[in-house]
Structure 1
Amino acid sequence: MADTAAALGEFDFAGDDHVVPFQVEGLDVRGRAVQLGAILDAILGRHDYPLPVARLLAETVVLTVLIGTSLKFEGKFTVQTKSDGPVDLLVVDFSTPEDVRAYARFDEEAVADAIEAGRTAPQQLLGSGVLAFTIDQGRFSQPYQGIVALDGASLEEIAGTYFRQSEQIPTRVRLGVAELFDRDPDGKPRHRWRAGGVLAQFLPEAPDRMRQPDLHGGDGDDGAHSHAEDDAWMEARSLIETIDADELTDPQVGTERLLYRLFHERGVRVYKPQAVYDRCSCSRDKIKGVLQGFTADEIAHSVEDDAISVTCEFCSTTYRYDVAEIESA
């Protein structure tokens, strides 16, 4: 979290595509909140995603940005699903401190059938599988990966489970996605995507206060050893659960105003906002290096019209290479 804090109003409003760290001292809660606008339009606009797929990917982008901007190292944080549903793969990369890219892979026919049948909830689109959170600090360290089952829960609930299992920190996440239909400065109709989210964590000075109710042990577990939740965390969680999905995405509400609505009675403070950008890490040289590792047969099978063309799945940029350029390495 940034070193400089302020009461609400002391900073200029962050606006879209800026993550706002916050702290509620009266409840021992810290967290991050964001509204995404232009970068989400750019990410989703490169692909002709069906609307339910676009919404699902947008939620994943918000979740990744909320977690990724809290990391204090140079490296990459990746959130990825792998499942058996119509949308079998979602990938969002966050390169610290500020770059995000994302894409979704899906079965067009299966998604069309799901839309026709009204089965477009995230759980129905994803099906069964896993959600992986991967932290990669570079070649001098081993990547860390936390895996959570996709078991019919929402992304909000799955994120809470991840923090409970990996860090034992009580965490509540709220995510929202919306479409806006308005007119551009020239009066022409336009469609825009918006998304927002809040991630709050209970971090008291006394670690024993962070104890959470035990997970149910199945048949025969009478819950006799369960711990009661801390009153401060119960209050914070209850406040966060009052957030309406429209509040997370409404440009007239804004991140700071939402935080004030939630926590003003407890003394919420915000930290300097952190911008995030739509930036892909692909490059002509990187892809060329991959191609130069191909065998002669693999190169031959990749050639079309005397050249090899590669399109980045994230940013849709196409790179074209002469065969001689690859074979001369």
Structure 2
Amino acid sequence: MIPTEQRATAIVPSLVEEAVAAPSMHNAQPWKFTHRSGSRRLSLYGDPDRTLPVGDPDQRALHIGCGAALLNLRVAAAHRGWTAVTELLPDPHDPWHLADVLLEESPGATDLRLADLRPAVRRRRTSRLPFSDERIPPEIWDELSAAALLEGVRLIVPGTWHADAVMDLVHDAELLESASDAMRAEIITWTRTGRAGEGPATEGVPSYAFGPRQHGTTAPARDFDVPHSSPARAAAVFEERPQTALLGTAADLPVDWLRAGQGMERVLLQATLDGIATSLISQPLEWPELRDLARDPRSRTGFVQMVFRFGYGPAGPATPRRPVSEVLEIT
């Protein structure tokens, strides 16, 4: 019989392949994995070469993206009959060492709720397309909120005044962004429109995923076409009242950001299974002066980590991912 450690090594590449289907800010894919052959341990690191110094100076979004990849890895392991026992921030002397995962074979004790999410890992998309005005039923909101709670975070569905306030913050962030040469330059660095000198096609946001231009300013979808280098983009009318939700944590430390990333991805996967199209709204959270205002002061949620846009509509196209050989080191 093949030892457990060798079986673990055999499945590691496939686990990482599904892990990296996670979303990340500007699709920077800021993760690295290491595995020692013949062991059951897989380590997740943040990649200091893939940071966003302007939009994410404290690496909060980097931790959230890596947390989302960690959730996908746990889902992939559960689907294969393994349990991914996770330790966050295992090395206090290395802040880039974000998690250790010990793979335990557990065919009879697999977390079926995690395993059931696996079909959504590949189907999940970020949609910058218009959604319909059909309202999401309360039972779906309850299911999404329960998914967040399973990861120790909270999903808040804002009331009318709070939703309007968040939309105002999105528009405020757009004005700040348009006035910041550094922010616009960073976004351009991570878009792919066929310009000379762009980065690899396996990362960043490709022009086919920009979505249409908006008639009006009702939707909080970010426009990545900063230099308007895609003149052929069509325009479209977006939903009049976007359906949003906020993901929050009680504290605001790196460990909370990793938990938020796992909760974010669990919510996105559950929404995908429920037939809900999704996108992420990070714009107002990239400006400290706006982020604090995103929170409902009456809420028990201390810090907003992500804002979601949900609705019924097209899922959006798949965006590229780097191959496993670039993100996984096996020694």
TM-score category, normalised to shorter length? under 0.3
- Higher-helix-fraction structure: 2
Scaled by the length of structure 2, the TM-score of the pair is: 0.25
Question: Counting strand residues as a fraction of each chain, which structure ranks higher?
Answer: 1
Higher radius of gyration, 1 or 2: 1
Q: Structure 1 length normalisation: TM-score?
A: 0.25
